[in-house]
Chains A and B, each alone.
Chain A
Amino acid sequence: MKKNLLINIDDVSGIKADKESHAKEIWRRLRKNKTAMAGMLILGIFVLVALFADVIAPYETAVAQDSSMRLQPPSAEHFFGTDRLGRDVFARVVQGARVSLSIGLFTSLGSLIIAVIFGSLAGYYGGKTETLILRIVDVFMCIPSILLSLAVVAALGPNMINLLIAMMISAVPGKIRLIHSVILSVGDQEYVDAARVYGCSDARIIFKYILPNALGVIIVDTTMGIAGTILGAASLSFIGMGIQPPAPEWGSMLSEASEFLRRAPYLLVFPGVSILLSAMSCNLLGDGIRDAFDPKLKD
């Protein structure tokens, strides 16, 4: 009996029926957006480089030192030049892509999951739960995120895992707020009330009805979040609180380069441009996705 009623709700809300064509429509709009496509292309290149890093420039080549080839400018043999230990910068940038993109991806996904849990609890149940969660979020947001991450990494020790934890701790509060407000705005709709009346479990309501309608906002935020994480992780590594040597990471490569600003300025270029392009492509893509979900904003 219950099952029949649920099917009715789906028809009434029109979500399920429209889902497929809705998605196609969004994708069509996205494809038409040239800058977003450019962003996707660039990001795609970085992702490919990260995935096939070991084929393009195996880890060994990124850490192999050569005393006779220290601080060489870019050449045919070393596309991006060599650093103070004679290591090939191109190989290091390629391997660095894997590091940066992994951190970006895992942080975004991890913080999204946590944010969905707590944001939903706050937005859906309201009352004391909401107040408590939001208050805690407010407290975290009062601390400048760099300092928070810095304190965490300093406390736990600088390595990749702790960097991930630190970046997630900075990212989660803002995301909780976002999910919370999304649930508030979407959750007001009639079909949600209807679903509740018909006895759907809370989790089902949240995951099946509310969140999918906020998908646009969530995707955009996640994509932009990756950009923020790439920049944040690079900043922390730049200060020296990031990935351990000899593992290549763009931020720490720039930190090493800062001593050689005059002697070997080319050391600045490639890691910096990599950070810029990867962050920018995420932002472009995110912008494009937002426009694709809500075309009214554009015109």
Chain B
Amino acid sequence: MYKYVIKRVLLTIPVLLGVLLIVFTIMSLTPGEPARLILGASADQAAIDAFNQLHGLDATFPERLWNYLKDIVTDLDFGRSYRSDKPVFDMILGRFPITFMLATLSIFFSAVIGIVLGVVSAVKQYSKLDATLTVTAMIFASIPSFWLGMMLILGFSLNLHMFPSHGADSWQSYVLPVLTLAVSAAAGLLRMTRSAMLETIRMEYIRTARAKGASPRDVIYKHALKNALLPVVTSLGISFGTSLGGAVVIETVFSIPGLGMLIVNAIRDKDFPLVMASILFLAALFCLVMLIVDLIYAFIDPRIKSKYLN
């Protein structure tokens, strides 16, 4: 088991290197220079040249890439932000807790709502409840999240004054953003759970029916749930990863000072070090989450566990 874990962890390294290369390439394609943007309109050529020299921007692409990698490997130095001159990792870690909270809470609530309602919907298939839930899920899966967020602000903040519309100071300010994120994710989970459950129930039913004739529903449904959980767990893992990045739009709507907004501003500023480190960070986190998901998989399903143990 441990060998598998170690192997997977080691495998993430080339993946992260790949991410680094891709993002580095994309950022370098840009026609605008970070110097202009950061120093402002009135900076003259001399100041621009000085800036470029200071940050090694006048080197060629392979040279810059090599320098960047060297710094990371030797000093764990991911550089300093072009704009604020602060070490990028401090900036990322400073903003991360808020986004993490947002993502975790959303995933949690979306899981609870989505899975529970998905099971209910599957169990009570063809009932009015099932139909309502399916349609509702469909609507919420198609809703643009930023629009939902703005509608919630309009309703609950501006008209009813129940929750704050911005910031992340108190637990109340998390309510609307989490609700927005959770609802969209829950819709997808509901549909996924429902169809996974239905498929497993049918298989179980046929098998047991063939074997026994009639069988207690509990056994079937427990068994079905466990098997249906597999794709759902993967989905959850992926959801967490995407919500970390997807929180970007929500953070914009609700003015939340999180990692998403930091990255968007950094991309606009062409603040290379900050963009690179942020995306690497999120990618690494995502790989970690997928690793955990795979391990949970093995934990739940003994067939897979034995495959790993070999």
Contact = CB atoms under 8 A, between A and B. Distances in A.
B147 to A, nearest CB: 4
Nearest to A153: B267
B14 interface: yes
B282 interface: yes
A268 B282 contact: no
Interface stretch (A52-60, A67-75, A136-144): A136-144
A261 B267 CA distance: 27
Contacts of B142: 227, 231, 276, 279-280, 282-283
Contacts of A142: 15-16, 19, 241, 283, 286-287
Interface in B205-246: 241-242, 244-246
Given A146-B249, A147-B248, A280-B139, A155 B26 contact: yes
B278 to A, nearest CB: 8
Interface string B267-286: 11010000100010011001
Contact of B241 (A35, A144, A276): A144
A147 B282 contact: yes
Interface in B272-310: 275, 279, 282-283, 286-287
A97 interface: no
Contacts, number: 131
Interface string A240-281: 000000000001001001100110010010001001100110
Nearest to A257: B150
B258 to A, nearest CB: 13
Interface string A132-164: 000110111011111100111011110000000
B50 interface: no
Most chain A CB atoms below 10 A, which of B14, B22, B158: B22
A258 to B, nearest CB: 6
Interface residues of A, number: 45
A154 B144 contact: no
A146 B246 contact: yes
A157 B32 CA distance: 9
Contacts of B16: 142
B22 A254 contact: no
A154 B153 contact: no
Contacts of B248: 144, 146-147, 150, 239
Nearest to B195: A297
Interface residues of B, number: 52
Interface in A273-299: 275-276, 279-280, 282-284, 287, 296-297, 299
B131 to A, nearest CB: 9
B246 A144 contact: yes
Interface string B64-87: 000000000000000000000000
Interface string B168-210: 0000000000000000000000000001001100100000000
A222 interface: no
A95 interface: no
Contacts of B279: 143, 147, 151
Nearest to A250: B144
Nearest to A279: B142
A238 B253 CA distance: 10
A192 to B, nearest CB: 25
B180 to A, nearest CB: 13
B143 interface: yes
A235 interface: yes
Contacts of A299: 202
A227 B143 CA distance: 10
Contacts of B286: 142, 144
B23 interface: yes
B23 A143 contact: yes
Which 7 pairs across A and B sit closest by C-beta, in order of nearness? Answer: A144-B245, A139-B18, A280-B142, A279-B142, A142-B283, A272-B147, A155-B30
Interface of A: 35, 135-136, 138-140, 142-147, 150-152, 154-157, 227, 231, 234-235, 238-239, 251, 254, 257-258, 261-262, 265, 268, 272, 275-276, 279-280, 282-284, 287, 296-297, 299
Interface of B: 14-16, 18-19, 22-23, 26-31, 135, 138-139, 141-147, 150-151, 153-154, 158, 195, 198-199, 202, 241-242, 244-246, 248-249, 252-253, 263-264, 267-268, 270, 275, 279, 282-283, 286-287
